[in-house]
Chains A and B, each alone.
Chain A
Amino acid sequence: METSTINNNFKSEEYFINMGPQHPATHGVLRLLLTIDGETIKNVEPDLGYIHRSIEKMCERDSYQQIVHLTDRMDYLSSNINNEAVCLAVENALQIEVPDRVKVIRTIIAELTRIASHNLWWGVMGMDVGALTTYFYAFRDREMINDIFEETCGARLTMNYNVPGGLMFDIHPNFVKRVKEFIAHFKTKLPEYDTLLTNNVIFQKRMRGVGLLSKEDAISYGASGPVGRGSGYSCDVRKIHPYSALDKVTFNEALRTDGDSFARYEVRIQEMWESISIIEQLIDNIPEGDYKVETNAVIKLPKGEFYQKVETARGELGVYIISTGTKNPYRLKFRSPGFSNLSLLNHIAVGGKIGDLVASMATLDLVIPDIDR
């Protein structure tokens, strides 16, 4: 086993632990090489690549409609938002204007996906810290969102509902009613989440002052999403470059300045409240119209380079397409939020204990298939 940076300064009282690829606390297959002295961590080195499936190479072989179903499987918790990213990139390159109905539905489904992803994050966060019942309460609410998706799109996790040009088919007649029921139910549950975990004195002692990240470090490591916003770096793509129907809604950006794990936790809880308010603003007036703009059967992008940014539940996802005018892209690159967020794990974990490492990693909210695509 070669461990490049570790062998040079290895002192005799330190020892190595492998939080191996199979571990309950790393969300996915991630190998961490820890150098520990007693309980204090001296060095963390992540080792990636266990779930690399060459998605970007497959995208060079597929046509633009077929690329969308591959993005479902990258960051599977915000799959609708990934689909939207690729569709927006293609539509901006072809300069197609999609109808308003499509924009509003895309935004509603994206915000529902964000709530579902943060719900699962909350449940797993409780489990990592030791409160094992939060997992079940979070999944009970997530099941309602999955049922909404199953009725409209046909699948619960890998939706593949967006196509370049619009949606694959129109929403189900029950969609609006179900979303309203879910919002009413969920608004009574979020305060319960607060009572159970957020205000708990043991939880606060575990989270406050742990895993500190200053604003300058967040900017220099490229942190985005709730990780950046927990340190005071205002990086919400929905505010800076709004897309779809996001310029028609008003919402607050969740910002905290403390930079510790509790700040990142609070940012995500506030984001759930903001998503609820966005959905409430849009759900009653979905404009009538077509659900799709007809494109050619074979889409060919003009020559050039195109980039599109969206805000997934983890942070800023970027889609970068280089096209030479043929029906497959020459190169397609995803700038994944998890990759940059993982790079600051060494910075925030050194000097703390193993329990702090687990808590900080849970607040970074990494999904490993997003990192090795």
Chain B
Amino acid sequence: MNLSLSITKNIHDWLFSMMPETVASLTEMTLIATVYLAVFAVTGLFLVLLERKVAAWFQLRLGPNRVGPWGLLQTMADALKLVSKELTGTVNADKFLYNLAPYFVIITALMALAVLPFSGEFQAFDINIGIFFLIAISSIGVIGILLAGWSSNNKFALIGAMRSGVQTISYELSVGLSLLTVILITGTLQLSEIVEVQRNGWLIVQGHIPAMFAFMIYMISGTAETNRAPFDLVEAESELGAGFHTEYSGMKFAYFFLAEFINMFIIASIATTIFFGAWLSPFGITESLPWLGVFWFLGKTLVLVFLMMWFRWTFPRLRIDQLLTLEWKYLLPLNLMNIVLMAIIVWLNLTIQF
């Protein structure tokens, strides 16, 4: 049932028949952007509620359950409340940078969402340097945090932003190297090709031991990239107030807040795509129903998101120098050793194929 393919083809043809070419392509791009904005908003809202419910179940209590059945409308109520708040700014803040900072994080999150292969046909932008693009985008997000901390004219915010900058640029190395380990098997950077390679078995099964190490290192560095616990010194509530977004209120704060959850979703999606075969079912059991691919993708991603939440609610926080020691003395050497191991296994054809 190529339902989605026929819908997009029909809309594409209808638009191109009605208007001249440039206008039609512009309209098509705007439509796709709107769809992705909607996906962004709904995913953000849903993930915030999921985090609150999961946290409550770990802590022996019930989560929000009064607003809507099972608390489903809770985040809507929170969003309405945030929209109605006054946007206070500090007096001596750098106005231009202060207002610009939230948009950096939002735009990078949206750009990363565009290349993810949700299903066989549901992928907005399938360039041939997919993985490279994703890693480059996550580096731009750091600028938003640094700008926010600096322009708030607040010592606490500055400490938080500096810590975050150091943390993010260190852990990007580990993210890149652990993804590189798996690329050695696929031989291509394009995301849809990577999914095609996984029809012979998911990549975490194909490259058995080194792929598992790569996955573990990727999960640790991915949690550190998004400033989540146990690496959340940046917003360490019991030490410094609220970190780099202390001076933001109302909708701008909502941007930072949502962007953190979407980043978590993106990290989990990349792991699903690379390691677990994005929309492919295990052993091909539902191959005949390709539209189920979206549900497989979302299911696998949600399991990984749950794993990241489990980390947050169990472990204490690391200090900044311990964080950096972990990266430069432990994760980076292990990553390099892992790449060598994977290269040997691929050269000797020892990967498991089905």
User: CB-defined interface of A123-137 with B at 8 Å, one 1/0 digit per residue?
Assistant: 000111111110111
**Contact among B60, B155, B238, B322 with A24 in the assembled complex (CB-CB below 8 Å):** B238
Q: A130-B229, A130-B232 are in contact. Are A205 and B318 (CB under 8 A)?
A: yes
Q: Does A370 contact B (CB under 8 A)?
A: no
Q: Does B239 contact A (CB under 8 A)?
A: yes
Q: What is the CA–CA distance of A152 and B311 in the complex, to the nearest angstrom?
A: 41
Q: A17-B155, A130-B229, A140-B60 are in contact. Are A206 and B316 (CB under 8 A)?
A: yes
Interface pair A202/B239, CB less than 8 Å apart: no
Q: Which residue of A lies closest to B56 (CB)?
A: A136
Contacts of B320 in A (CB 8 A): 39, 353, 355
Interface pair B316/A202, CB less than 8 Å apart: yes
Please report which residues of chain B, range 234-278, place their CB below 8 angstroms from some CB of chain A when the two chains form the complex: 236-240
Q: Which residues of B contact A (CB under 8 A)?
A: 55, 58-61, 155-156, 159, 229-230, 232-233, 236-240, 313-322
Q: Which residue of B lies closest to A18 (CB)?
A: B155
Interface pair B156/A131, CB less than 8 Å apart: no
Q: Does A200 contact B (CB under 8 A)?
A: yes
Q: A17-B156, A202-B315, A202-B316 are in contact. Are A130 and B230 (CB under 8 A)?
A: yes
Which 7 pairs between the two chains have the least Cβ-Cβ distance? A130-B317, A136-B59, A129-B316, A130-B316, A131-B316, A355-B319, A24-B238
Q: What is the CA–CA distance of A203 and B316 in the complex, to the nearest angstrom?
A: 6
Interface pair B314/A353, CB less than 8 Å apart: no
Q: DSSP majority for the A interface?
A: helix
Interface pair A126/B239, CB less than 8 Å apart: no
Interface pair A131/B238, CB less than 8 Å apart: no
Interface pair A126/B60, CB less than 8 Å apart: no
* Cβ distance B126 to chain A, nearest Cβ, rounded Å: 40
- Which of B233, B313, B317 has the most CB atoms of chain A within a 10 A radius of its CB? B317
Interface pair A358/B155, CB less than 8 Å apart: no
Interface pair B236/A130, CB less than 8 Å apart: yes
Interface residues on chain A, size class = 20 to 34
Q: Which residue of B lies closest to A352 (CB)?
A: B319
- Can you report 14 residue pairs joining A to B where beta carbons are below 8 Å apart? A24-B237, A39-B321, A130-B230, A130-B232, A130-B238, A130-B315, A131-B317, A135-B59, A202-B316, A203-B316, A353-B320, A355-B320, A358-B238, A358-B239
Q: What is the CA–CA distance of A25 and B316 in the complex, to the nearest angstrom?
A: 15
* Cβ distance A195 to chain B, nearest Cβ, rounded Å: 11
Contacts of A355 in B (CB 8 A): 233, 236, 239, 317, 319-320
Contacts of B314 in A (CB 8 A): 131, 133, 196
Contacts of B59 in A (CB 8 A): 132-133, 135-137
Q: Which residues of A contact B (CB under 8 A)?
A: 15, 17, 24-25, 39, 126-133, 135-137, 140, 196-197, 200, 202-203, 205-206, 353-356, 358
Q: A25-B238, A355-B239, A358-B239 are in contact. Are A129 and B322 (CB under 8 A)?
A: no
Contacts of A133 in B (CB 8 A): 58-59, 313-314
Interface pair B239/A197, CB less than 8 Å apart: no
Contacts of A136 in B (CB 8 A): 59-61
Contacts of B230 in A (CB 8 A): 130, 202
Q: What is the CA–CA distance of A130 and B233 in the complex, to the nearest angstrom?
A: 9
* Cβ distance B316 to chain A, nearest Cβ, rounded Å: 4
Q: What is the CA–CA distance of A355 and B239 in the complex, to the nearest angstrom?
A: 7
* Cβ distance A204 to chain B, nearest Cβ, rounded Å: 10
Contacts of B229 in A (CB 8 A): 130
Q: What is the CA–CA distance of A363 and B191 in the complex, to the nearest angstrom?
A: 50
Interface pair A15/B239, CB less than 8 Å apart: no
**Contact among A15, A131, A356 with B315 in the assembled complex (CB-CB below 8 Å):** A131
Interface pair B238/A197, CB less than 8 Å apart: no
* Cβ distance A199 to chain B, nearest Cβ, rounded Å: 12
* Cβ distance A357 to chain B, nearest Cβ, rounded Å: 9
* Cβ distance B311 to chain A, nearest Cβ, rounded Å: 11
Contacts of B58 in A (CB 8 A): 133
* Cβ distance A40 to chain B, nearest Cβ, rounded Å: 10
Q: A15-B155, A17-B156, A25-B239 are in contact. Are A129 and B317 (CB under 8 A)?
A: yes
Q: What is the CA–CA distance of A132 and B315 in the complex, to the nearest angstrom?
A: 8
Contacts of A200 in B (CB 8 A): 315-316
In addition to A39-B320, A127-B238, A206-B319, 6 A-B residue pairs with Cβ atoms within 8 Å of each other are A17-B156, A129-B316, A136-B61, A137-B60, A202-B230, A355-B236
Contacts of A135 in B (CB 8 A): 59
Interface pair A356/B319, CB less than 8 Å apart: yes
